[in-house]
Every structure is written in structure tokens, then in C-alpha cells.
Amino acid sequence: MSALEDIPEPPHPERVRMRFLQVGEDHAVKEARVLAGTTIFDAASWNGIAIDSTCGGHGTCKKCKVKVVSGNAPLSPVDPRAFSTEELKNGWRLACRAAVEEDLTIEVPPLQTRPKAALVGVGRHVILRPAVQKRYVELDEATLEDQTSDLERLLAAMDDVEPRVPLEIVRGLGGTLRRANWKVTAVLADDLLIDVEAGDTSGRRHAIAFDLGTTTVVATLLDLETGQPRAVQSILNSQQPFGADVISRISAIMMDDGALDTLQAHAHQTLQQLTEEVCTEAGVDQADVYEVVVAGNMTMIQIALGIDPEPLSMAPFTVVARRMPAATAADFGVRVHPRAPAVMFPALGAYVGPDIVAGILATGITLDRRVRLFIDVGTNSEIVLGSSAKTLATAAPAGPAFEAAQIRCGMRAADGAIEGVKIVDGEVELTVIGDVAPVGLCGSGLVDAVAELVGAGILDNSGRFVLGTSERLGKIGEENVFYLSDDVFLSQRDVRELQFAKASIATGWTILCKDLGVEPTEISQVLLGGSFGSYLSASSAVKIGLVPKLPLVRIVSAGNVAGEGAKIAALSVTERAAAHAILEEVEYVELSGRTDFNDLFIDQLRFPE
Ligand code: FES
């Protein structure tokens, strides 16, 4: 009797059924259905079954040995090098080389080493498969009898790869081989040989994942051996004096011929400062960072690369290239290994840029059967709605309210900023960052304040202050204000700013729901991301109508998803390819020009009853 007979689901032409028998203490059995063509290694990893590997599935460590006990998995060219004829006959295969074409039962030996996967993004389980690989080789010394060239000798020792070799490598190769007594480590980034190092340096392999935000820039130093972060640092983008948002940065460039160079230099200086900080913190030599991944909005990426961003700011809003050509860390002003590549994400459009593609990767929206909504809340808010069946994305110009830039008492989320507001029995309770006296109001405090004022009846649903409802109401000039503390107040105009911002976002997801053919109540999960969205209170977001009215457990903070996406791309070339596939999988919806936009926007200006 086949071991698969009792799996109830009928076979599907594109899907195969797998049963994993885990040999070891608990003899666990797991069943799974996967797409035909998936490797046994991936199928196992996706189903939480660890298979030994130290090469991350590259077919070089020969540790991912499994035994096919029912069904047939064809031999790969590497299998005869890993197994005896007898073992091959008994069904032994390298899991990372074996593509599943039919129903299989697999015996998985217990782990000898640590699993090579990391949990990143919004619960994403990423199999480590970095583009950066190291190969330690001990070569035979050249002799009169064996005059094989230095390069051929090195390449012959790495017979499973055929790298491209830059001239600079050949320039130094002869000296390195002889100085190192023919024991060297080749460093590969994808198919490019980027260095040949003396001795065995195979344990040192790092990358930096950057989130180049308009306001904040974050760097994570990753150990590519373990997939674990070694250090994380963030600082303000030093382009700040040129304006808080992308439009003011572009305006600065349009008005002054030298401004692009200056802003580019600021971006480079910010990225380099972070590089030094993370490497110092982790005690890692900057030269041991062999790759950087940069996520950011299109304006930030173009400026950092010295590309005029002006076309991004005016109709028809075109990007210079949806997929950037190959670049190096040096092109971003980052001084790590001199030949380290810089990896970027593709862009769906001018305002649904590489940062959102990184976010889609980190949230896994296009992989999940549930309908989920992701909102990156900011000056320009990006909205993604969908599932593995279909995903739509749009951008909603929300204005600077959430950054608190145009709020009378607005400030960044720093010490002294009110970040939380509660009104209990008419009493105002404030949460202030740093537990100091309040000096201003940051974005999350603004949303909380308005939500609580609406809840207390001090603001009506149209957003107007209801005079006589609180002793804290007053006037500054002709304008009604509500005093949150002696010095910090919320004005009528501030409330209007927030109404426009939230109506813009709510109109965005309403239109995406219409186009996708789902009701907002059918959304399984709302992910709030970005440096502002991650700190928003779910209940306040619902109360002001920024997100659909759903049970609060369905509304979660997704954190810095662009930065998480950058980490995922650094850890896995497979995931990097998936990010490029997002361009084909996700449909961009342009809001301007929609005939239904204005009516929906006006409806959404009100606060929900
Ligand atoms: S995982 Fe290393 S050879 Fe398969």
C-alpha cells in the first residue's frame, strides 16, 4: 500500500503531495501539497521541516541528504558526487537539487547542523540563500610540469560555478595566491567573482540592508552565515534641511542647479555614517561587507544615484527605470568592500516605488490566500490590497499631517512629543515620549487626540469643535482650539489637515476594494507600516476611519516593512527574484482621473458614527 493513500485530497495537475517522515526522536510525519517543480528542500522548509544545509541550498555543501522512499525523484548532476551507487539506488538525493515532479514520501535524517533559515518581515520564514558566497580552496602549487594558469587553477577548484571575473581580480591574483601559499577564499556575489582573499575567510560574510527613507534612514548589518542581524542603527536623513517631504526636495533641486549634487552628497554621507556605526557596533571590518541592499522611495533612490528626480513630480509621473541597472555600494557612497554590489528593488510607478515593493515582499501579501490590506502611512501613503489571487496597489497623497509638519504644535516623535491621548470622564490623559513635560504633538498623538475628541463629543462627525463641551476649548485669534496641556493645543485647521489625510487614504482603500470586488469587512488583516503607521493605535485608526471598521485584532503594526524587505533580499536570492516578479503580479491603480474619486473622498472626510 502506498504511504500516500490516506491523504484525502485528490491530485491536482500542477500540485504534488509530499509526506515527510522525520527520522529522529519523535518520528514526526508531515504532509504537504506543493507546486510541481519545487525542490524537496524548499517544500520542507516552507512546511517547517529543517533539512541540514550549510550552503543555503546552493548544491555545494552536500549536507541536505534525504531518502526518497516512495515515488521517484530524478538524479541531479551533483547527486553522483554526493552518494555511492548503492545509496543512489536506495533513493538518496540532495534535497536542494531534487525538483518534485510527482507524489513523494521522503525520509528526512535528523539535523547535524543549525537550520539555515531566518524569520524576517511579517512572519516570513526565509531560507538563507544569500547571493554572497565564499569558497575556501587549497590549490596545487604551479610547477614546471603543471603550468596551468592561476585563474584556471582557481576556477577548476570551484567546478560548480562559472563566475564572471573582473580585470581587477586577475591583476592581483598571482600575488595573492603565492603570498597565501595557494590557500585562498574566493568571494562571489551571484555569478561575479568580487575578490580572492588570502587564507580561509569563509566564516566572515556580511551585508547591510538599508531603508533610505525621506525622514529616517535605517541600516541593519546582517551576518550572512546565520541570517541574524548583528547591529541596527537609524538616523535622520541629512537631506532634512531641504524639506520634509519628497516634493520639497524635488523643488529644491528644480530651483538650484547645484542642489542635486548637494542632496546626493547628503544621502551618501547619511548611508556612510550608518555603515560606520553598524560595523563599529558589531566589530565587523567594513571590507567584510560584500553587498548592500537599498530600499527607498523612487525620489530618494534617484537622488542618491545622482538622477534628476524632476519627472517624478509632474504628470505623467514617470520613473527613470522601473528596474535599475546594476550598481555598486560605491554608487551610494558606501565604503564597504570596493566591489560590493548594491541591490535595489523595482518600482511599480513614481509613487508606488521600490520601498513598497520591498514592503509587499516583507508582508507576503501576494503569497497569502487571505485578503489583506497594507497601508504605509506617510506624506505619500501607499496602499496595497489583495491576496495570492490578485493584488492591487495605489498611492494616496495624504499631505504632511501624519508627519505633524503642518500641525500648529506638531513635532517629530522625539522627547516631549505627545504620542498618546485618552479622554476619560472629561479628563485628558497624555502619554509623552521621554516622560517629560509635553512640548508638541506627533502623528500618533494627533490621531489619538482627534479620535478621543470625536468619542467625547467635543468634535462632531464633520470635524467641527462643539463649543461649550469642554473647559479646554478656547480661541487663538479667530480659530477654535482644544488645549491638551498649557502649551500644546489642537486647532480647527489641524483637525482639517488630518481629515484630508485620512480621507485620502480611506478613499484609496475604498477604491481598491471596489476594483478587487471585496467588501472592507472581508479583509482578514490590516497591516499598518512605515515609521509613522507602525506606532498608530489600532482603535484610534478605526475611530477616525483611517482603516476599515474591523475587529481590532485584525489591525496590526507591520513595523519597518521596507527595511525588512531589504533584509529578506540580502538573505535570499530566491526572494530577490520574487520581488522582481511583484512587478508582474501587482496591478497599479491610478487614483487621479478616477471619476468616483471626488464623491468617495467627500464621504470619507467625515468621522464614522
Ligand atoms: S543545501 Fe547544500 S547541497 Fe543542498
Instruction: Cell numbers for 78, please give them.
Output: 551533483
d(CA 51, ligand 1 centre) in Å = 9
CA of 484 to the centre of ligand 1 (A): 60
Q: Among residues 361, 239, 363, which one has the least CA distance to residue 303? A: 239
Closest atom of ligand 1 to 57 CA is 1
pLDDT at position 56 is 60
Contact 311, 357 (CB under 8 A): no
CB-count burial class (<10 Å; 0-12, 13-18, 19+) for 169: buried
| Rg of the chain in Å (alpha carbons) | 28
Q: What would the pLDDT profile of 254-275 be if each residue is shown by its tens digit? A: 999 899 999 999 999 999 999 9
Beta bridge partners of residue 528, listed in sequence order:
375, 557
Cα angle 77-160-42, degrees, rounded to a multiple of 5: 65
Q: Which numbered atom of ligand 1 lies nearest the CA of 60?
A: 3
Q: What is the pLDDT of residue 487?
A: 92
Q: Model confidence at 287, in pLDDT bands (50, 70, 90)?
A: very high
Residue 58 CA, closest ligand 1 atom number: 2
- What separation in Å is there between the alpha carbon of 220 and the centre of ligand 1? 27
Give the separation between CA 326 and CA 469, rounded to whole angstroms. Answer: 61
Question: What mean pLDDT is predicted for residues 77-94?
Answer: 94
Dist CA 570 CA 341 (whole Å):
11
Q: What kind and span of H or E run contains 509?
A: helix 492-516
Q: What confidence score (pLDDT) does residue 464 get?
A: 96
Q: Which residue has the higher pLDDT, 42 or 6?
A: 42
Q: Please determine, for residue 322, whether its predicted confidence score (pLDDT) is greater than 60.
A: yes
How far is ligand 1, taken at its centre, from the CA of residue 364, in Å?
25
Q: Are the beta carbons of 3 and 70 closer than 8 angstroms?
A: yes
565 contact partners, CB below 8 Å, separation of at least 6: 121, 295, 345, 355, 357, 358, 359, 360, 361, 362, 579
What pLDDT score does 11 carry?
38
> pLDDT averaged over the chain?
89
Q: Give the mutation target among 39, 49, 94 for probing the ligand 1 site: most ligand atoms within 8 A of CB.
A: 94
Q: Which atom of ligand 1 is nearest to the CA of 62?
A: 3
- Minimal-distance CA residue to ligand 1 atom 1: 57
Q: Is 337 or 557 the better-scoring residue by pLDDT?
A: 337
96-134, pLDDT tens digit by residue? Answer: 899 888 999 999 988 776 556 776 777 677 888 899 999
- Of 10-14, 312-316, 532-536, 581-585, where does mean pLDDT reach its minimum? 10-14
Q: Are 196 and 154 in contact (CB under 8 A)?
A: yes
Q: State the amino acid at position 40 in one-letter form.
A: I
Which residue in the block uniquely carries the three cell numbers 568592500?
337
CA of 59 from ligand 1 middle (Å) equals 4
- Which protein residues touch ligand 1 with a CB less than 6 Å away? 53, 55, 57-64, 94, 96
CA of 62 to the centre of ligand 1 (A): 5
Cell 542647479, residue?
257
Tell me how far the alpha carbon of residue 95 lies from the centroid of ligand 1, in angstroms.
7
The per-residue pLDDT for 426 is 86
